[in-house]
Each structure stands twice: as C-alpha cells, then as structure tokens.
Amino acid sequence: MKSRKEYQEQDVVRVLGRWGDRKPSYSVAQQEKRRSAFLSTGLALLGGTGKVIAAGKHAADASMTMGTKIALGILSTAILAVGSYVGVILYTNLISPIDRTPTLTATLPASNEPMPGQVTAFPNGTPTVSATATFVPTVTSISETASAESDPTNSGLHLGQTPHPRPTKKPKP
C-alpha cells in the first residue's frame, strides 16, 4: 500500500526535471528533409548569383536585378508617352471641334453666281437677291466653292447656335 505524502513544489520540479532527461528523438529522415529545405531556401535567397541581399531589403527584392528595374522603367515611360499622345490626338479631333465656332460652307452654283447681296436682273424683270449668299457677306471672289468663317467675337452667336440667314430687304422698284 502506497504511503500518502504531501507534495511540495520541489517535488514537482524534480518530476519535471526527470521529464527533461527523456528526450524525444528527432527522426533522422525528418531532420534531413527539413535541413535540405532550409538550405535550399537559404540558397534561393541568394538569388543563385552569389549576391548577398543588403541588410534592410526584403528577400523578394533579391530576384529583381538592376536590368529588370531599368526595363520596367523604360516600359512605364513608354506607356506614359503613348498615353499622352493618344490623349492629345483625342482632344484635337474630338474635343476641340466642339469648342470651336462652326465653319459654314456654301456652295454656289456654277452658273448665275450672284454676288452676295447683289441684285440680279432676270429676264422676267423681277429683281431678286440670291438667297444662298445672304449669309456669306464677306466673300470677295467668285469661285466654284466659296467659304466664309464667321468671326466668333462678332457673330453674336452663342456656342453651338446655328446662324440663320438675315432677312433681306427687297429693293425698292
């Protein structure tokens, strides 16, 4: 029959110490596998080039060489330049025309070219004013195609407003 005693802290420490004397063995196979993985990772961190990663740098930086960084820099600069060029082209072709006062073009018939605002006498004797030229007051020469641009500062038109031909006065007989 076991004698019952009162355990003290020293007894607990003694038992724990005995536990420490019994060391669980680390399997040689497991240890070898871990060692190989550890050394392989250590070698990989060198980037395979023998270069040592500078202190303070992350391990991931090791794989990015200076050449790679330069190539990335050139690539990003090229992308930026192409983007800017496309932006300018788009602005010139699409955005800018909307802002500009529209250009009006009038085609005059090949025959019977009336002068703007000029009274033309017809065989029936009825004086008329060429309606097609009423809104081109500054045409100075007669050709197949006459064009005139309104002066945006003097036209009195708002942006996008279409100019209407001014009513012309009928000449007094």
Nearest CB to another protein, comparing residues 38 and 91: 38
Rounded to whole angstroms, what are the CA distances from 48 to 22, 52, 67, 129?
42, 10, 16, 91
From the CB of 11, what's the least distance to another protein, in Å? 7
Distance in Å, CB of 54 to another protein, minimum = 8
Under the binding rule (CB under 8 A), the answer on residue 1 touching another protein is no
Q: Are 144 and 110 in contact (CB under 8 A)?
A: yes
Residue type, 118: Q
- Which residue in the set 7, 66, 110, 121 belongs to the binding site for another protein (CB under 8 A)? 7
Please identify, using beta-carbon distances, which residue of 14 and 170 lies nearer to another protein: 14
Cα 39 to chain centroid distance, Å, stands at 46
| Shortest distance in whole angstroms from residue 1 CB to another protein | 12
Phi-psi region of 73 (alpha: psi -120 to 50; beta: other; left: phi over 0): alpha
Listed ranges 36-44, 64-72, 86-94, 130-138: which one lies at the site for another protein (CB under 8 A): 36-44
Tokens linked to 38: 């550890």
- The contact mask relative to another protein for 41-70 (x = CB under 8 A, - = no) is xxx-xx-----xxxxxxxx--x--------
DSSP tag of 64:
-
| Residue position matching structure tokens 């500054």 | 138
Spatial separation of the C-alpha atoms in residues 20 and 15, rounded to whole Å: 9
Interacting residue ranges for another protein, rule: CB under 8 A: 2, 4-9, 11-13, 15-20, 22-27, 30-31, 34-35, 37-39, 41-43, 45-46, 52-59, 62
